[in-house]
Chain A
Amino acid sequence: MTVARPDSTAPRPRGRVLTWYQGLNAKHLVTFLNTLILVSAEWQFGGLGGYDRLAVSLGSCIATEIGLSLLVLGRMPRSYLSPYISGVSLSLLLKPQFGLLWPFAIGGFLAIASKYVLRYRGSHLWNPTNLAISALLLLSAPVLTKLTHEWGNSLGANLVIWSVGLIVVHRAKLLHVTLVYSLSFLALAAARAAVFPDARFLTEAAPLTGPMYQLFVFFMITDPPTVVRGRRGQMLVAFSIAMVEALVRLGLDHEIAWLAPLAPAPALFALAAVGPIAKAIDLRRRAGAQDRVPHLEGRGAGA
């Protein structure tokens, strides 16, 4: 009979959890959250509106990824996580007329193709899903809109998604992006409410408690390939997105007619406008910095 001896090298339970948590791959976590939202939205609320929508958007994203990878890179894609996340997000966020499937097919194509086509200095500029939805909302308004109340308005479900979402973005080291955007949105909502005598802070802040914003703050503005480098820069961009959105909303509250096409989703359009500009500036600065490094080194060496 052998007697088990305590293993002095084994981590304590708390440490184990921490180690496991730290070992989690951020991309896999995002994928997990994405899937969790998909499953819970469909199971509890029928929020998807039919599995055919999911099949078409996933199929379109994956087919486009394979096709363009073969065409542009000459090889099969190394990962399918990106088209998977885009496909799931599209199926959740797009709400076309009942029975229409082509928006999901077109949206999937636009999202993935944008990664290959709309590039600057070797990097894509737009969050693929954001670009696809923004383009479709602008061009297909007669038959298409975005997610609003299709998942119900349960505070409990919101809290669950927010809790899991916050963990995921924390693990992805992008919590500050979500927090800065959210806090900026709230602060600017308060400012907008102060401008109009009949407006209330709760009304202006209310969109942040909805499902579309959950997807927005956890998936779109924190999409690693399209955020800028550096914590301060990321925070500045998150604030800028909130600021542009606030300006659009302010304009809509003042009933500026030419802003009307942006009314269904000011946040999505703000990201579509600010995100690529910020990314392009960031890429340009990085390229400039890289160009300068050998020059400076040489000068220093020579000094």
Chain B
Amino acid sequence: MVFAYWESHRSRTGASADLEGTGLAFREAGAELGISFWHRAPGLDPRLEHISPQIAGTGASVSAVDYDGDGRLDLYTTTMADGQPNALFHNLGGHRFEEVAAAVGLADLNREGQGVSHGSIWADVDRDGDQDVLVYKWGRSQLLLQGKDGRFADATAAAGLDHWMNCTTALWFDFDRDGWLDLFLGGYYRDDVNLWQLEDTRVLHDDGEFATNGGRNFLFRGLGAEADGVPRFEEVGAAMGLDGHRWTYGAGAADFDRDGWPDLYIANDYGTEELFLNRGGEGFELAEGLGLDAKSKSGMCVSIGDVTNQGRLAVFVTNISETRWLFQGNNLRVSLLPEKHRMLNLSQAGHAAQDCGWAWGADFGDLDNNGLQDLVVVNGFHSAARDRSYWYQMDKLGGAAGLILENAANWPPFDGMSLSGYQRTRVLLNTSRGSMAEVGRPVGVDDELDGRAVILADLFDDGTLDIVVANQNGPLLVYRNLMSDAGNWIGYELRGRASNLDAIGAEVTAYFGHATQLQVVTAGSGFCSQTDPRVHFGLGTQQQPARVEIRWPSGVVQQLGAEHLVPCTYHTIEEPDA
């Protein structure tokens, strides 16, 4: 039909025009950079083998961190196969990386009986001046503290974090603003499910829209370090109102209601999105009346940015769209909480961000430094036989009674079929305050692998954001930004003092031209990823920002002086005294 054709193709028409003049181009450069890594799925209980692509459909992750404090951004990535090592790519400078995970004790984390890695979140958890890491797992997640020798030692049990759960998302934040980081862990499969040794096959969701038979979410409050230097945690999820049993896939923390306390935004598979408002660090309250519960979908990731240049936070939550079968559409919501108590969804019909296929991770960043935050979305569930689709088989159970649906034994075997496979990574250029045009192919981001995690990070400190994609059962891809003229930009690396040392939760607002752009420092966002810990602003036609303001997690508000408004460099800013 004419309407259908027009709706499905109209976003393409403006892409080339929107790209003209930007000089934006990428090239996949993993091999030449020395980055070679392949994610592999785990072997599971034989009773799950027939649907292993469904059960073990996630787990490829990537995090950006300067783990050794040498000023260069490194990459940590995980795999899920039993006995296979995770990888830490140390940035040597000069466009070279070296794999060092084994040397620092971060490789051998997928041991039989202990579960397999799903992602990592980094921060200076023990406040000793270096980066530590929590590798979250289907199994026993591990807290690894970095010692003075640069090696990481397991402190999970001592910290009070030893627990079996099927964790798919995690983030560090400081919800009580005491300077000690707190930990949110999102559960997917039930905690009592060991995917390698099942008690029975009723392990799946019992509802496509409102499932509450997933893994429990946990909130660990950081209590501070003991004499042994190990930080202690206590689990306060139930007491704080964050112990849901939905199938949590993504989470992001930021102050949506502008009351000074970091809130928690959660994306649930087979469920609605949830915004938990932080009530003064003493509890979380589910925000009602925002329209988040109007439509239940398959929330995958939570990415936080500012696409309107109005100083308003935007949240991007990915979902599933597949021709003939399902049109959930992604949500790009702009927070109007402080004044109107609502979230405005920009992702309406025809918006380029709405239909990205079976979408997973996403990250915001100004790829062309034109002063507007763009968006990269990775897609695709399972790529096997190109001409054989599992959708019809899966649809048999789509509306079925929960008792049938939850039993893996009732699911038809994949038998080499694809499920929304071979989907392109989408590069969405922000053309005007949230309007977007898809330019992936023209700029050279054209892989069709099963992307899960994606981050935009300036790996070479040249002021342009590169794209790193972790693929399920596939390679880690590094798309180097080849823009010849980076234009005007400015970046900040924040160091907390009274606040947590990584300034997680700090807000940086840059005023340039007519724009007011707000960015938040996060440690865990998107899907199984942690993005560049620095904030990066493209300035478009402006030479430099007129003003930059930082609101630190402690509550201190700082106006940067002229020396910190000089463009085309990263400024290191230390938290001032109150």
Q: Do A and B come from one complex?
A: yes
- B163 interface contact, C-beta 8 A: no
Give the one of A153, A199, A202 with max B CB within 10 A.
A153
Binary contact track A141-174/B, C-beta < 8 Å → 1, others 0? 1111101111111110010000000000000000
Chain A nearest CB, measured from B532 CB (Å): 31
- A99 interface contact, C-beta 8 A: yes
- B321 interface contact, C-beta 8 A: yes
- B19 interface contact, C-beta 8 A: no
The answer to whether B207 touches A255, judged by C-beta atoms less than 8 angstroms apart, is: no
A203-B412 contact, Cβ under 8 Å, with A141-B324, A209-B400 = yes
The answer to whether A45 touches B210, judged by C-beta atoms less than 8 angstroms apart, is: yes
The complex places the Cα of A152 from the Cα of B296 at a distance, in Å, of 9
Contacts of B7 in A (CB 8 A): 97, 100, 142-143
Interface residues of B in 37-71 (CB under 8 A from A): 50
Size bracket, chain A contacts: 35 or more
A210-B324 contact, Cβ under 8 Å, with A46-B296, A99-B348, A152-B210 = no
Chain A nearest CB, measured from B256 CB (Å): 22
A206-B410 contact, Cβ under 8 Å, with A145-B326, A145-B327 = yes
Give the one of A142, A207, A211 with max B CB within 10 A.
A142
- B402 interface contact, C-beta 8 A: yes
Interface residues of A in 82-117 (CB under 8 A from B): 95-100, 102-103, 106
Size of B's binding interface in residues, CB under 8 A: 53
- B259 interface contact, C-beta 8 A: no
- A227 interface contact, C-beta 8 A: no
The answer to whether B327 touches A144, judged by C-beta atoms less than 8 angstroms apart, is: yes
- Determine chain B's interface SS by DSSP, over half rule: loop
- A140 interface contact, C-beta 8 A: yes
Chain B nearest CB, measured from A241 CB (Å): 18
Contacts of B391 in A (CB 8 A): 263
Chain A nearest CB, measured from B277 CB (Å): 22
- B386 interface contact, C-beta 8 A: no
The complex places the Cα of A66 from the Cα of B321 at a distance, in Å, of 36
Contacts of B294 in A (CB 8 A): 46, 50
- A233 interface contact, C-beta 8 A: no
- A139 interface contact, C-beta 8 A: yes
A153-B206 contact, Cβ under 8 Å, with A98-B354, A210-B398, A210-B399 = yes
Contacts of A199 in B (CB 8 A): 412
Chain B nearest CB, measured from A287 CB (Å): 36
- A291 interface contact, C-beta 8 A: no
A-B contact pairs, 28 of them (CB 8 A): A45-B209, A46-B293, A98-B295, A98-B348, A100-B349, A136-B1, A137-B324, A142-B5, A142-B7, A143-B8, A143-B327, A144-B4, A145-B327, A152-B207, A153-B209, A154-B210, A154-B401, A154-B402, A155-B401, A198-B412, A198-B415, A206-B396, A206-B404, A206-B405, A207-B399, A209-B404, A210-B399, A263-B391
Chain B interface residues (CB < 8 Å from chain A): 1, 3-5, 7-8, 50, 206-210, 293-296, 321, 323-329, 347-350, 354-355, 387-389, 391-392, 395-405, 407, 409-413, 415
9 closest A-B pairs by CB:
A210-B399, A149-B208, A99-B349, A206-B400, A98-B329, A148-B398, A99-B348, A209-B401, A140-B4
